[in-house]
């Protein structure tokens, strides 16, 4: 039975947005946990992308169709930023009975691998989404080639002999118009011949490109004769050695959308300036006009969301792999114990906007706690054990105490936890010299042992250095189950424990932020983002003591270790030797920030 004076914190009781819509109503502006000022919550009346879709449905723009796609490049594992895009692409289509394709934008053979393709599919499914069509940009290589030929024939594309550096030089800058390449006015015949020979493998890498013939003076740099094809003698993960010319992303993306008859093509803001180019190709080719809509990229404090940088962390061994539980990848946070529900709720709450900002990591953790609080069974675990002997408890006696599995969910029932004469408690739960407001165990002090008995500390045993290594207590048999005794005596603290004879030895991995800078990409001259790595992001505790029910915890099983946090059994667990990741500690900084806000505002 829960006592009011328990130290057990009530978790995750607050929320700040009304759930129920796929996409939330709130948007957090860039703010920091460390700043004294709480982050302002800006309530949005709606989601502008949804508004566009609703309008298009009203005007019957696409004959009532909503077709979206999620287009990852298979050059790394998906991260929490991608989750935002996935929730948007799949969520909006679902909301309007539409369809969503998963399309791998695999136009760059040198960086792409099937390992990434497989992990991306696994991650999308894990998040709870199902694609309708499964496509690859490489499915369209033949079609894209034919369209390139069509553009050459129409005088809209030419083969250029400038090198990559020269092309860059000729391109000009935002303030200076570009210069025409000396090869810009080649005849259609010559262009066709050269392009055919490029495809046939006659020329070495980098010697020629195919470029769109648009406008070297355009204020939009993307329109200054962008490269459509480059020569690259590289094996492709799907087409093998069939091709030695590969389309650029900007040439492939819009047409891939068009081929799949995508109605609403959502992407992040950095592609806004590319939209005129995508539209140009679509117009020149006279093909289905997909509509691109840009939204803000997710940035999280203390986190980097860039596959390139995450790859560097993996390659340089700063983390154990893409699924290191400190990584913001979906495989990493899954292994750490995040739930898909928490991620989806978070993505719904942050919503979308037209300006890039940064979201508090604490907000993501808030949604995680909120979900786990409802669902994670409770268990008792002692991470840093201190031995306690109950002197007046009969030797050899074992009692099975009833423990509540989840106070938030009556249907979760109860379990038996063995109690005996020798126990472990947290070192933190004892102070020889207790400070003010410290109500846990100390000499002469009585506390409640959760679900068991009241116990009073009688004396301590110290080692040669004077460190307390064992505590001796007496218990009150009249308090069985942890209930108040008939004399009405009360205690100010409840602590958890594990019976020594029954304890399961385990390893616990405690994580802190991977970076110690709020914006890890901000670095001093001459350094890179790895200089912002937090050297204390991982703490490994061995010989933790768990209640016996945890011995068989399957990898991925999530628990709340009472008073400590949420934990998830790691894939490194062996039978009888579990390894647990701390998913998140109990303390909810976000709830605090939010409370501060409410009080202020």
When the beta carbons of 82 and 211 are compared against ligand ATP, the nearer one is 82
What is the Cα–Cα distance from 469 to 423, expressed in whole angstroms?
Answer: 13
Q: Identify what 305 binds: ligand ATP, Mg ion, none; CB under 5 to 8 Å per kind.
A: ligand ATP
55 burial (CB, 10 Å; 0-12 / 13-18 / 19+) is exposed
Q: Considering the rule CB under 6 A, would residue 82 count as an interface residue with ligand ATP?
A: yes
325 touches ligand ATP (CB under 6 A): no
Binding of residue 268 to ligand ATP (CB under 6 A) = yes
CA dist 252 and 137 (Å) reads: 7
Among 29, 150, 222, 306, interactor with ligand ATP by CB under 6 A: 306
User: Taking the complex as a whole, how short is the minimal distance between the CB of residue 272 and ligand ATP, in angstroms?
Assistant: 11
In whole angstroms, the minimum distance from the beta carbon of 214 to ligand ATP comes to 24
Residue 297 is a binding residue for ligand ATP (CB under 6 A): yes
Nearest partner of 93 among 264, 308, 332, 321, judged by Cα: 264
- The backbone torsions φ and ψ at residue 520, rounded to the nearest 5 degrees and listed phi first, read -65, -15
Q: What's the min distance (Å) between Cβ of 227 and ligand ATP?
A: 18
Contact of residue 582 among Mg ion, ligand ATP, none (CB under 5-8 Å per partner type): none
**72 sits near ligand ATP (criterion: CB under 6 A):** yes
Count of chain residues binding ligand ATP (CB under 6 A) = 15
Annotated catalytic residue, options 69, 307, 369, 563: 307
Sheet of 245-247: strands edge to edge?
157-160, 209-212, 227-231, 245-247
Q: Is 113 in the site for ligand ATP (CB under 6 A)?
A: no
With CB cut-offs between 5 and 8 Å by kind, which of Mg ion, ligand ATP, none does residue 307 bind? ligand ATP
Nearest residue (beta carbon) to ligand ATP: 81
Residue closer to Mg ion, measured from CB, 73 or 272: 73
Q: Tell me the C-alpha distance between 385 and 429, whole Å.
A: 10
Sort strands 99-104 and 134-136 into parallel, antiparallel or unpaired. Answer: parallel
Out of 15, 65, 179, 297, which one is annotated catalytic? 297
- Asked if 71 touches ligand ATP (CB under 6 A), the answer is yes
Backbone angles phi, psi at 110, to 5 degrees: -75, -20
Instruction: State the Cα angle at 91 between 90 and 93, rounded to 5°.
Output: 65
Q: Per the structure block, which two tokens stand in for 296?
A: 């803000």
Site membership for ligand ATP, residue 482 (CB under 6 A):
no
Q: What is the DSSP letter of 391?
A: T
376: its two tokens:
């994670």
Identity of the residue, 80 or 591, whose beta carbon is nearer to Mg ion in the bound complex: 80
In the bound complex, what is the minimum distance in angstroms from residue 73's beta carbon to Mg ion?
5
Q: Taking CB under 6 A as the rule, does residue 307 contact ligand ATP?
A: yes
Known catalytic membership, residue 73: yes
- To the nearest 10°, report the CA torsion of 144, 147, 152, 153: 150
Between 233 and 308, CB nearer to ligand ATP: 308
Shortest distance in whole angstroms from residue 338 CB to ligand ATP: 16
156-164, 304-312, 315-323, 573-581 -> range binding ligand ATP (CB under 6 A): 304-312
Which of ligand ATP, Mg ion, none does residue 319 bind (CB under 5 to 8 Å by kind)? Answer: none
- Which residue is listed with tokens 């001459």? 526
Identify the active-site residue in 15, 44, 73, 587.
73
d(CA 106, CA 279): 21
Interface residues with Mg ion (CB under 5 A) are 73
73 or 113, CB closer to Mg ion?
Answer: 73
**Contact indicator for 187, 240 with CB cutoff of 8 Å:** no
Query: By C-beta, is 78 or 506 nearer to Mg ion?
Result: 78
Of the pair 73, 505, the CB lying nearest Mg ion is at 73
| Catalytic-residue membership of 416 | no
In whole angstroms, give the CA distance from residue 291 to residue 248.
20
Q: Which letter does DSSP use for residue 240 in this model?
A: B
Least distance between ligand ATP and beta carbon 597 (Å): 25
The site partner of 85 among Mg ion, ligand ATP, none (C-beta below 5 to 8 Å per kind) is ligand ATP
Q: How far is the CB of 586 from Mg ion (least distance, A)?
A: 37
Shortest spacing between CB 297 and ligand ATP, in angstroms: 4
What is the DSSP secondary structure assignment for residue 377, as one 8-state letter? P
What is the distance between the alpha carbons of residues 586 and 561, in angstroms, rounded to a whole number? 9
199 binds, among Mg ion, ligand ATP, none (CB under 5 to 8 A by kind): none
Q: Please indicate whether residue 415 is annotated as part of the active site.
A: no
Contact (CB, 8 A) for 368 and 333: no
Q: Distance between CA 88 and CA 398 in Å, rounded?
A: 54
Q: What is the C-alpha separation between 177 and 195, in angstroms, rounded?
A: 27
Q: CA 326 to CA 337: how far, in whole Å? A: 11
Smaller CB separation from ligand ATP, 137 or 403: 137
Could you tell me the two tokens for 426? Answer: 């947290």
| 277 vs 508 by CB, closer to ligand ATP | 277
CA distance 262 to 204: 36
Q: Does 81 bind ligand ATP (CB under 6 A)?
A: yes
- 237 near ligand ATP, rule: CB under 6 A: no
Distance CA 557, CA 575 (A): 14
Around Cβ 526, how many Cβ atoms within 10 Å?
Answer: 6
Contacts of 471 (CB under 8 A, 6+ apart): 386, 387, 388, 389, 425, 430, 441, 457, 459, 460, 461
| Binding to ligand ATP in span 83-112, by CB under 6 A | 84-85
* Per-residue CA distances from 331 to 337, 420, 472, 475, 579 (Å): 10, 40, 45, 46, 17
Among 82-90, 93-101, 235-243, 333-341, which window interacts with ligand ATP (CB under 6 A)? 82-90
User: Residue 267 interacts with ligand ATP (CB under 6 A)?
Assistant: yes
The partner in contact with residue 385, picked from ligand ATP, Mg ion, none with C-beta cut-offs of 5 to 8 angstroms by kind, is: none
Nearer CB in complex with ligand ATP: 30/305: 305
Q: Does 247 bind ligand ATP (CB under 6 A)?
A: no
CB of 130 to Mg ion, least distance (A): 24
Per the CB < 8 A criterion, the answer to whether 276 and 223 are in contact is yes
Q: Which residues contribute to the site for ligand ATP (CB under 6 A)? A: 71-73, 81-82, 84-85, 267-268, 297-298, 305-308
What residues are labeled active site?
73, 297, 307
């Amino acid at each position: 039975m829960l006592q009011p004076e328990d130290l057990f914190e009530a978790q995750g009781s607050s929320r700040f947005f009304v759930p129920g819509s796929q996409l939330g109503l709130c948007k957090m502006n860039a703010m920091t946990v460390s700043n004294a000022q709480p982050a302002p919550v800006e309530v949005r009346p709606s989601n502008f992308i949804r508004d566009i879709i609703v309008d298009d449905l009203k005007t019957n723009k696409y004959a009532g169709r909503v077709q979206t796609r999620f287009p990852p490049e298979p050059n790394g594992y998906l991260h929490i930023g991608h989750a935002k895009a996935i929730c948007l692409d799949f969520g909006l289509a679902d909301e309007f009975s539409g369809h969503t394709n998963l399309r791998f934008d695999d136009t760059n053979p040198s960086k792409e691998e099937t390992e990434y393709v497989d992990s991306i599919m696994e991650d999308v499914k894990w998040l709870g989404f199902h694609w309708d069509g499964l496509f690859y940009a490489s499915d369209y290589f033949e079609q894209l080639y034919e369209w390139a030929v069509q553009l050459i024939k129409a005088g809209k594309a030419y083969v250029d002999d400038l090198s990559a550096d020269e092309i860059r030089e000729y391109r000009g800058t935002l303030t200076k118009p570009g210069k025409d390449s000396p090869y810009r006015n080649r005849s259609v015949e010559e262009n066709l011949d050269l392009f055919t020979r490029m495809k046939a493998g006659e020329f070495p890498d980098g010697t020629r490109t195919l470029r769109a013939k648009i406008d070297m003076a355009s204020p939009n740099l993307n329109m200054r004769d962008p490269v459509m094809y480059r020569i690259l003698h590289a094996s492709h993960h799907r087409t093998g050695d069939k091709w030695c010319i590969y389309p650029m992303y900007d040439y492939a993306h819009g047409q891939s959308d068009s081929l799949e008859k995508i109605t609403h093509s959502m992407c992040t803001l950095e592609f806004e300036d590319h939209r005129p180019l995508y539209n140009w190709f679509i117009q020149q080719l006279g093909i289905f006009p997909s509509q691109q809509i840009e939204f803000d990229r997710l940035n999280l404090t203390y986190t980097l969301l860039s596959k390139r940088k995450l790859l560097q962390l993996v390659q340089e061994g700063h983390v154990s792999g893409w699924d290191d539980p400190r990584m913001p990848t979906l495989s990493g946070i899954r292994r750490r114990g995040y739930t898909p529900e928490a991620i989806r709720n978070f993505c719904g709450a942050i919503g979308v906007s037209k300006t890039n900002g940064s979201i508090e990591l604490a907000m993501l953790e808030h949604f995680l706690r909120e979900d786990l609080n409802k669902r994670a069974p409770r268990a008792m675990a002692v991470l840093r054990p201190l031995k306690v002997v109950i002197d007046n408890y009969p030797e050899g006696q074992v009692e099975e105490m009833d423990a509540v599995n989840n106070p938030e969910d009556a249907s979760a029932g109860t379990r038996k936890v063995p109690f005996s004469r020798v126990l472990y408690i947290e070192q933190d739960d004892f102070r020889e010299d207790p400070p003010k407001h410290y109500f846990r165990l100390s000499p002469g002090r009585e506390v409640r042992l959760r679900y068991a008995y009241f116990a009073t500390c009688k004396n301590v045993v110290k080692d040669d250095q004077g460190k307390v290594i064992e505590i001796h207590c007496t218990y009150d048999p009249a308090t069985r189950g942890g209930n108040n005794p008939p004399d009405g005596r009360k205690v100010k603290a409840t602590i958890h424990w594990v019976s020594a004879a029954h304890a399961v030895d385990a390893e616990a991995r405690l994580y802190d932020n991977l970076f110690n800078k709020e914006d890890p990409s901000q670095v001093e001259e001459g350094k890179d983002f790895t200089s912002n790595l937090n050297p204390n992001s991982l703490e490994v505790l061995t010989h933790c003591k768990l209640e016996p029910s945890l011995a068989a915890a399957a990898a991925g099983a999530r628990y709340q270790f009472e008073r400590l946090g949420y934990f998830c059994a790691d894939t490194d667990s062996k039978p009888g030797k579990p390894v647990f990741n701390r998913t998140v500690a109990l303390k909810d900084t976000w709830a605090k920030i939010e409370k501060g806000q409410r009080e202020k505002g």
